[in-house]
């Protein structure tokens, strides 16, 4: 789907009231605005996204997940137009160097329900933004690797969110450090102080800075005693 004709065909399919669910298998998306999610959901399997892709809702809430499985993203994947609670699954995906996962303000108007967010087994070589979003009850964030900046400013984690095996590359810029600190702040404010303490003590430059500070104080104390 990379030209005007194919984009028009895709728009006709997603807007048709007679189509309730869509599956895309081994597809390539080029210059394309995105998709309006039909009521019974959509699945992308082994797909390649070359440009920005916007996820919107045809109805107020779909009844089945918006699923990306084994997909590759070279541009941005944008959920920032979705402010209600919807089920989203991202599994075994690769976000390349110029990519951006944009979930800013995701689920900010969501009501309590069974729908949750699952992001698993995924590499992020681009940036990730969860600013002002709400991570729903019983969501899953696991086996994720972040190579660049993440941001969780004013984000909230609801109860029983599973957070494990997150890896962060060394922070070589202040922006990267500040983004990671926003993740720790969001965890602490949401009642996940144990998880925040673990990542603060064991991740990248934050842990290295603490070790350097501790070693520096010890050296100064040793010199003072000499």
**pLDDT (tens digit per residue) in 6-64:** 877 887 777 788 888 889 999 999 876 788 888 888 999 999 999 999 888 876 666 67
85/105: higher pLDDT: 105
- Range of weakest confidence among 37-41, 83-87, 130-134: 83-87
Q: Which residue has the higher pLDDT, 29 or 210?
A: 29
User: Does 65 have pLDDT greater than 70?
Assistant: yes
Residue-by-residue DSSP string for 164-183: EEEEE----SHHHHHHHHHH
In this predicted structure, what is the pLDDT of residue 110?
Answer: 62
Residue 126 DSSP label: S
Q: Express each pLDDT in 155-171 by its tens digit.
A: 999 999 999 999 998 88
179/88 Cα distance (integer angstroms): 23
Helices (H), 79-168: none
Greatest alpha-carbon span in the chain? 83
What does the pLDDT read at residue 33? Answer: 75
pLDDT for the residue 164: 93
CA distance 130 to 115: 18
Between 112 and 118, name the one with better pLDDT. Answer: 118
* pLDDT at residue 224, rounded to an integer: 46
- What is the rounded average pLDDT of the residues 59-74? 84
CB 41 within 8 Å of CB 62: yes
Q: 45 near 70, Cβ under 8 Å?
A: yes
């Amino acid at each position: 789907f990379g030209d005007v004709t194919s984009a028009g065909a895709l728009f006709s399919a997603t807007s048709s009231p007679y189509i309730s669910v869509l599956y895309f298998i081994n597809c390539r998306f080029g210059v394309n605005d995105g998709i309006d999610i039909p009521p019974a959901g959509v699945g992308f399997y082994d797909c390649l996204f070359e440009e920005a892709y916007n996820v919107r809702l045809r109805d107020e809430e779909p009844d089945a997940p918006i699923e990306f499985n084994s997909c590759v993203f070279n541009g941005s994947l944008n959920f920032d137009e979705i402010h209600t609670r919807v089920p989203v699954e991202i599994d075994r995906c690769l976000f390349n160097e110029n990519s951006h996962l944009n979930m800013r303000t995701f689920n900010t108007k969501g009501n309590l329900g069974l729908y949750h967010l699952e992001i698993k087994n995924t590499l992020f070589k681009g940036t990730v933004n969860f600013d002002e979003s709400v991570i729903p009850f019983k969501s899953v964030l696991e086996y994720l690797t972040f190579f660049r900046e993440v941001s969780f400013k004013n984000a909230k984690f609801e109860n029983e969110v599973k957070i494990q095996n997150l890896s962060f590359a060394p922070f070589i810029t202040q922006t990267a450090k500040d983004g990671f600190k926003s993740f720790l702040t969001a965890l602490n404010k949401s009642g996940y102080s144990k998880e925040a303490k673990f990542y603060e003590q064991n991740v990248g430059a934050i842990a290295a800075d603490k070790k350097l500070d501790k070693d520096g104080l010890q050296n100064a104390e040793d010199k003072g005693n000499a």
